[in-house]
Every structure is written in C-alpha cells, then in structure tokens.
Structure 1
Amino acid sequence: MSANEVVIVGGGPAGMSTAIFLAHHRPALADRIVVLEKERYPRDKCCAGGLGERADRALSAIGVRVDVPSVPVNGVSAAFQVGEIALREGSIGRVVRRLEFDRALALAARARGVRIVEGARVTAASASPRGALVESSAGTFAGRVVVGADGVGSVVRRALGLPFGTLRAQAVEVDTEPVAGDRARDLLHFEMRDRSFPGYLWDFPTVVDGRELVCRGAYVLHEGALGAGRGAGPAPDAERVLRSRLAALGLDPDRYRRKRFAERGLDRTAAIARPTALLVGEAAGIDPMLGEGIAQAIAYGALAGEYLAEKLEAGDLRFNDWGRRVERSLLGLDIRFRRRVMRAFYGAPRERVEHYLLDEPSFLRFGMRHFAGRAQPAPDALRAAATGALVVGRIGIERLLASLPPRAAAHP
C-alpha cells in the first residue's frame, strides 16, 4: 500500500491541473501528490479540442506553458434559423488534440514533482474522516484526501454515493477533410439551425498528423436536462444527428471513425464533496449548455489546488464548503449563467433568443472575451448583462403567465 497526502483519480486536464496548482501553492507537498491514470500517455480522448485562452493564462500565471500543435482561434460563427453571424476578437484561444495536450500537461506536473501512475485503473474508492483509500490495477493508494477527476462515469462519485443528476449530454465527433462552405479556419463554428433536438452541431478546425482537418460533432442534451415537460419527447441519438449533418455536407458518414462521449453539467442542488473527498471537472459537472470542457477543467484545477492547500494547512478536511466555493467562483458564476440561458435557448423561446443574439452582438462578444480570459470594457459588459437580463427576464415573465389559469393570465 502506498501512502500519500493527496490521491487524484484521473489524469486529464482537471486532475493534472489540480495537482499542478496544489504543488504551486504547497511545493513541499508535491512529492506526496499522486495522480492515477487508467491509460498510458499519449492516449486519445474524445473532445472537440476548443481551448479558451483563459486556460492558458491561468497556467502561465504559475509558469506552465503547454506547447503542442494547435490551430489559433480568433472568433466564432453561428448559424441560426433566423440568420448567421461571425465575429472576431483577436486571439481568443486555440484548438488542440487531447492526445498531445494531456501528455504535455502530465509532463508539466511531473516537472513539479508530482507522481503519476499510468495504467492504474481504479476499481474502488472510499473516504472517511480518517482518510481515503483507492484501489486500482496498480495497487492500493492511501491518502489524507482523494480527488475525483475521473469524468462522467466517475468511480469516486459513485463510491461517495452522490447522484449522477439529469444535466447530462451525449456527443459524437469525427475528423474529416474540409468541404466547400466551411467557415474560415480561425473560427469555431456552431451549427444551430436544427431545432429538432436540444443541442448543437460544431465544426472546429484541427490538425491531425500535420494535416488540416475539421472536427465535426453533435452535442445532444439528455431528455431530462431542460426539466419536466420542457422537451418534445426523447432526444435523438447524437450519432444519428451527426450522420445526417455529414450527409448534407456531401460526406460519407461511414468513411470516418466516430468517437462517442458523454458530458455532465454541474447541478447546483447536488453535493460534490464528502469529508476527505471532493470532485472536480466533469466528475463534479461543467457547463451543460455547450459542454465546454478543457478550460473549465483547468479552472476547476486552479480552484481546487488553492482550496486544498488552504484546507490541508488548516487540517480541516470536512470539505463542507467546496460546493459553495465552486458556486461563488468565476467558474461557478459562468456555469450558473449558462444553465439559465440553456433552458431558454433550447426551450420554447429559442427564436426570440436567436433574434437577440443577432441584434445585439455585444452579447456574443462578451462571451468570446470571457473565453479568452480578457478584461471586459465596462460599456460592453453592461450592454451584454442588460441583454442577458432582458432575455431571461422576459422568458421568466412568459413562463409565469403561462402557468396561471386562463382568466388570471388574461388579467395579470
């Protein structure tokens, strides 16, 4: 049995960032942090690869630079039923391949003294006020704390007896050659004209073995994600949605290797910690609207690293305020806002929301600047906030009126 201070289950961006930021805040603990990764680097992970510059900024602030092949991104484009829009804001991020990015992040963690055990598939975990115990194919690891960074199907989450929630989505992606009609390669494109399902399709520029390709995918929310009675029935399968999109582009869906994955949104009503154990990244929950994973995983790591440093120093491992710390952080504020907008955008008011987004581009510019981790000019931030408040406020009033009996609704 191996004894450590902190055992982190999962060697993706959330787990590695937690280790790196904890080692930054408490260098003396670095060699007592162990990360258990079930695969061996380099290993591929299904992910569109969009990385907001705010993630690189957070890592750079503690002297970490993840230098891997990538496609620079300057803006976004979106196609709605009511129109299209394309906006640029200078450099806002890049598209990376998880095969390369995760390996480079692991090397950065090792350089800080963190121990990484590859090929360690976790089979069981337990946590109590006395400490944590993790069993894996590479042996048993004991520690004062266990961090679950093991994704949607988190073994740690299950071991803690925490519910998996309804804010879930399925996604499927392929890498194809470019086609006529693709947007410029410095844009992340969101295809949102199909309202038959709650979700979207994407086209992101990527580079695979030196070849300029396009990562295309479908993101489909679980039928219960919008709340009882909000959907029009079971959501379609994401693969069927993507196949239809590929065929419309003149691409043979059977030519490409399809990669499926699932995502979970952060549910503010669900606990994400127990004494001596906490969850980060998708094990805890991310943005359910778009499923933006990598930057939010790194934000979780930055937050958890600082939090764990404080708690270990104080000897307080109850972690009863971890959920509150997440909710009150910039990460939590971002996710909370997206949760509210998601229910409006993918719900009945969708057409009106699309008009707002087209008529008031400051709202999307605000989002791009947040993606980049860039300071917001006060007038633009105020305008975007006012637009968002107007959208959410009007939708709230309409829902209230719709819930009233006919006579009362006619005479509010």
Structure 2
Amino acid sequence: MARTPSIGVVGGGPGGSSFALYLTNLGVDPSDITIVDQAHFPRPKLCGGGLTHRGTQLVEELLGAQPLGGGVTRGLEFRCALGAVNVIEQGPQWLYDRGRLDNLLLAECKARGVRVIEGARVREIDAQPYDFRVRTGAVGQDAYLDFDWLVGADGARGVTGRSLGLSPGIVGRLIEAVFEPVSSAHDPSILYFDFDPILDGIPGYAWIFPYPKPGPAAESVGEPSDSGVVPGLFKLGIMDGRGVTPGAELKRWTMDYAARNGFRLVDDKLSGWPEHYYAPSTRAHVPGAILVGEAWGIDPLLGEGIAPALESAAYGALRLRQALDKGTRVIRHYERGFKWSLAGRNLWFQAKLANLLYGPNPNRWLRVLFENETLLRLAASGEEQYGRLAKTLPRLLLGYAGQVLRRGVPSNRPIELPASID
C-alpha cells in the first residue's frame, strides 16, 4: 500500500491550526498532519483582540460553537478631525484574548489527532526534489522533520516564505498597551478607530478597544458570555499600515493620544509587532508548498487578522486536498483562484481602499470616507459586514460620482486637528 503524504504546517496560530482543522474536515487523516510552532501554548499574543462579526461567525462555524468568555460590543466608530461615523454590522463584534483563542483552536487540532510540536523553532527549510527537510531546535540541538507537503502559516516574517523565495508584500508596524481611564468617557461597548495619525503623516489609524481579558471559561466553547471584559481597562494602539514610521515615534504618538483621550498607562511598556498585508500580486505557492493566513497576508486596511487567516486557510486546505487527490505537487493558479474567490475579492477591495487612504492623497480620501452620503448610509444600515464590502463597489462608485458632480473632486488640502487635541 502506498504511503500517504505527510503534511507539515509551520505555525500554530489561527492560520495554521484552522488549516489543519479544515483539512481534516475534508477527510485527510489527522495523523498525516504535523503542526510545528516555536511557542508553548497558551502563549501571549499582541493583538487588539477585536473580532468582526464575520470573524466570530467563522470561528463558530469551525468549532461548532462560539468560544466562551470574551466580551461583546455593539458597533464601531470611525473618527478623525472631520467628525465621526457610526458603523453598525449585521451583528455584534466579539472581544477575545488572542492567547486563549489561539490555544483553543490548537487544542481542537490535538483533540482530533493532529500531531503538534511546540517549543520547536524552525531555523531552516531545505526544499528537496520531492519533499522538504525542516531543521528545528536550539543551536547545537538540531532536530529534523521531513514532509511531502509544507504549509507556511508562520506570520509576518515567517521563515517558510523566505526559505521558498516567496517575497512578502507590505509589512506594517503596530504598537499597543493596556490603559485605564482617568478622565475618559469612552463607551466600552464601542470599538473606536481614529484616523488622525494620517494627519501627522502616519499611514494608519489608532484604536481604543475594551480590554478583552476572558476568564477560565474561555478555554471551552458553548453559550456566549460577556463576562470577560475587565471593567475600566482598555487597549490603545496604533497601526502604521506601511511600516514606514520608526517605532519610537509610534510609541510617542500613542502616549500623546492616550493622554488627550483621558487614559493612563497600566502596562510596564508599549509593545510592538509586525503585520503582513495581503496584496493580489503576492506569490504563495511553489511545488509542494503553500502559504496561508498572515504568511500570505491579512486585511491591509484595518489589519483584521482572524477572518482573513481562516478564509485563506480554508481555501488552501481545499486546494491542497485536490492536489492530493490528483497526485500532483503543483496547484495551478493557486493565487489567482483565491483572488477570484469571495474572500479574495474582498481582500482585493480592502487593499484598494488601503492604497487610497494610506497613499499619496490621504486627505482627499478621508473626506470621502467621512462625507460621502452613500458610505454614511452603508455604515449605518446594519446590513453589511466589515470585510464583505466588495459587492458594494458599484454603489460606492456611483455615490462618489454623485459627490463629485455636486461638490467637485474632494480636496487633498491639509485637514487641521482641532485646537483642543493639538
């Protein structure tokens, strides 16, 4: 009897663990799948912690129930010096501690029989004619793993893409910490997104989220609970969607932002991490290997990670299963097929929006975002989901044309910050 192909997944975060789960759903024997991660789970994970309505749906569909713990919010508010826009999705947004949520997904892999190797840092990948040799371990304590197929799910600066010659797209830079209010009246049921960093030359946004620290119940799934948000604590941070601003400047901006919004630092320090954003031109496949999750790229506009990671993992699992059935190591049009999928079309749309808002004429597009009547109606309708907006493109183009006819092309002249927050 022929040996079944072995599949190595580098990275045990949401992209890697969900890939393994989707692949077992497609009938692949869990014992043929190995996940390798440098961390021991649960491990701390820097993240704002907010899941869009779509992201929560995907997690629930994958696990069969919504994770316990965390907290619920009832909407988003986009803000800048031009004003504020209330954004209402089809349903609530959930807040989870990423370390706990990631551990929950990986625990499900273990429960299904997927082999999981923790505390094994991948140091080198040797692509051989018909398989891959992965070197892990500390210096002088090398261990080797051989796989017929390799799946890179190791994040923004993962070794898999580098080793296979798959150049990344844009890598952004983020800073965050936990704060407490001292004179703030921010509503803990709202996720705040501030685009004022753009006015200071930082291509991105800042956020104020309730602190999503769940209780012990977050280790399981079942009926949702909103008991996990720590009263009075918030996470504040900033995203540079182009990775061009020095970390020290991002930290200074975040501390100034916290002070003028009435918050005081609780953490010992502000911490930072990179994010890799999806671009339609990014390569994600060589014979016998694919990228999924953030290794391929997440939402370039707001940095939403969970939903795009799970969607690209589901796509990758399906295409790899098809390749296994055909006995081939080549997946034809892997990148193009995703680009034309529903998830890919939406990420393409997010990338286009990011190129406008974080590009050479950001003030023009801020004026469109905060003044276009079609956009404002769409945001307030409660009928849409963030990250599922590509289908609205014809409506948005007509709305923009109407805005131009009535008022002219929106100006790119500087937008002044109000004196009260200078």
Q: How big is each residue's C-alpha offset from its partner over 1:341-376, in whole Å with a ceiling of 9 and x where there is no partner?
A: 112223422343233456632333579832497xx9
Among 277, 289, 306, which residue is 1:265 paired with? 277
Q: CA deviation at 1:21?
A: 0.2
Find the residue that maps to 1:188 and give its secondary structure: strand
User: How many residue pairs end up in the alignment?
Assistant: 380
Partners of 2:266 and 2:396 lie apart in 1 by 43
In structure 2, the gaps of 5 or more residues are 216-227, 413-422
Match of residue 65 from structure 1: 65
Among 156, 159, 180, which residue is 2:160 paired with? 156
In structure 1, the gaps of 5 or more residues are 225-232, 403-412
Among 353, 356, 359, which residue is 1:341 paired with? 353
Match of residue 52 from structure 1: 52
Q: CA deviation at 1:313?
A: 1.4
Partners of 2:191 and 2:184 lie apart in 1 by 14
Among 161, 172, 179, which residue is 2:175 paired with? 172
Is the strand fraction higher in 1 or 2?
A: 1
Q: Establish whether residue 146 from structure 1 lines up as the match of residue 150 from structure 2.
A: yes
Distance 1:366 1:46, change over 3 A: farther
Among 331, 340, 350, which residue is 1:328 paired with? 340
Q: CA deviation at 1:62?
A: 4.7
Give the aligned residue type for 1:362. R
Find the residue that maps to 1:8 and give its secondary structure: strand
Give the aligned residue type for 2:11. G
Report if the CA contact (8 A) 2:90-2:384 is conserved: no
Partners of 2:188 and 2:63 lie apart in 1 by 29
Match of residue 259 from structure 2: 247
Match of residue 250 from structure 2: 238
Distance 1:147 1:238, change over 3 A: same
Report if the CA contact (8 A) 1:8-1:33 is conserved: yes
Is the deviation greater in 187-196 or in 174-183? 174-183
Distance 1:160 1:354, change over 3 A: same
Match of residue 230 from structure 1: none
Match of residue 204 from structure 1: 209
Partners of 2:158 and 2:124 lie apart in 1 by 11
Find the residue that maps to 1:151 and give its secondary structure: coil
Distance 1:185 1:83, change over 3 A: same
Give the aligned residue type for 1:188. L
Report if the CA contact (8 A) 2:71-2:96 is conserved: yes
Find the residue that maps to 2:75 and give its secondary structure: strand
Partners of 1:15 and 1:389 lie apart in 2 by 40
Distance 1:388 1:286, change over 3 A: farther
Partners of 1:345 and 1:122 lie apart in 2 by 36
Partners of 2:66 and 2:276 lie apart in 1 by 26
Report if the CA contact (8 A) 2:173-2:243 is conserved: no
Give the aligned residue type for 1:175. V
Report if the CA contact (8 A) 2:11-2:37 is conserved: yes
Is the deviation greater in 199-208 or in 6-15? 199-208
What is the Cα-based RMSD across aligned positions, in Å? 3.1
Find the residue that maps to 1:177 and give its secondary structure: strand
Find the residue that maps to 1:370 and give its secondary structure: coil
Identity, % of aligned positions: 27
Partners of 2:75 and 2:301 lie apart in 1 by 19
Distance 1:249 1:81, change over 3 A: closer
Q: How big is each residue's C-alpha offset from its partner over 1:183-237, in whole Å with a ceiling of 9 and x where there is no partner?
A: 322221101134112100001112336523211110012267xxxxxxxx98983
Q: CA deviation at 1:315?
A: 1.3
Partners of 2:180 and 2:91 lie apart in 1 by 24
Report if the CA contact (8 A) 1:66-1:104 is conserved: no
Give the aligned residue type for 2:143. G
Distance 1:372 1:351, change over 3 A: closer
Among 395, 401, 409, which residue is 1:386 paired with? 395
Find the residue that maps to 1:282 and give its secondary structure: helix
Distance 1:182 1:279, change over 3 A: farther
Partners of 1:270 and 1:189 lie apart in 2 by 31
Match of residue 353 from structure 1: 368
Q: Establish whether residue 298 from structure 1 lines up as the match of residue 318 from structure 2.
A: no
Partners of 2:143 and 2:383 lie apart in 1 by 44
Q: How big is each residue's C-alpha offset from its partner over 1:348-407, in whole Å with a ceiling of 9 and x where there is no partner?
A: 22343233456632333579832497xx9xxx965x641256549999xx99xx9xxxxx
TM-score, scaled relative to structure 1: 0.83
Aligned pairs (5 A) from 1:186-201: 186-194=189-197, 195-196=199-200, 197-201=202-206
